[in-house]
Amino acid sequence: MPTPATSAAPIILTGDRPTGPLHLGHYVGSLRNRVTYQRDYRQFIMLADAQALTDNMDDPAKVQRNVIEVALDYLATGIDPAQSTILIQSQIPELAELTFYYLNLVTVARLERNPTVKEEIRLRGFERDIPAGFLTYPASQAADITAFKAVLVPVGEDQVPMIEQTNEIVRRFNRIAGAEVLVEAKALVPEIGRLPGIDGKAKMSKSLGNTINLSASADEVRAAVKKVYTDPLHLRVADPGHIEGNIAFAYLDAFDPEKEALAEMKAHYQRGGLADSIVKARLELCLQEFLTPIRARRAELEKDRGHVMQILKEGTARAREVAARTADEVKRAMGLSYF
Instruction: Tell me how long the chain is.
Output: 339
Select from 15, 3, 92, 71 the least CA-distant residue to 40.
3
> Please, how many CA atoms are within 13 Å of residue 282, restricted to the half-sphere of its CB?
23
Site string for its own copies, 230-269 (x = CB under 8 A): ----------------------------------------
Q: Which of 105, 188, 243, 275 binds its own copies (CB under 8 A)?
A: 105
Binding part of the chain for its own copies, among 4-12, 14-22, 34-42, 50-58 by CB under 8 A, reads: 50-58
Least separation, in Å, of the C-beta of 229 and its own copies?
Answer: 37
Chain center to CA of 278: 33
Q: Which is nearer to its own copies, 233 or 339 (CB)?
A: 339
Residues 160-199 that bind its own copies (CB under 8 A): 176
Q: What is the Cα–Cα distance from 10 to 4, expressed in whole angstroms?
A: 9
Shortest Å, Cβ 29 to its own copies: 26
* 242-245: long-range pairs with CB below 8 Å, 24+: 242/270, 243/269, 243/270, 245/200
Question: Cβ neighbours of residue 172 under 8 Å, at least 6 residues apart?
Answer: 105, 106
Give the CA diameter of the chain: 81
Only segment of 4-12, 54-62, 196-204, 249-257 that touches its own copies (CB under 8 A) = 54-62
In which region does residue 294 sit, left (phi positive, over 0), alpha (psi from -120 to 50) or beta (all else)?
alpha
Residue 11 or 121: the one with the smaller Cβ distance to its own copies is 121
Sole binder of its own copies in the list 90, 146, 210, 230 (CB under 8 A): 90
**How many residues form the binding site for its own copies (CB under 8 A)?**
52
Q: Which is nearer to its own copies, 1 or 61 (CB)?
A: 61
- Using CB atoms within 10 A of its CB, is residue 324 exposed (0-12), middle (13-18) or buried (19+)? middle
Is 327 among the residues that bind its own copies (CB under 8 A)?
Answer: yes
Q: Work out which of 19, 38, 84, 99 binds its own copies, going by CB under 8 A.
A: 99
Residues making contact with its own copies (CB under 8 A) = 49-50, 53-54, 57-58, 60-61, 63-64, 67, 88, 90-91, 93-94, 96-97, 99-101, 103-109, 111, 128-136, 139-140, 176, 309, 312-313, 316, 327, 331, 334-336, 338-339
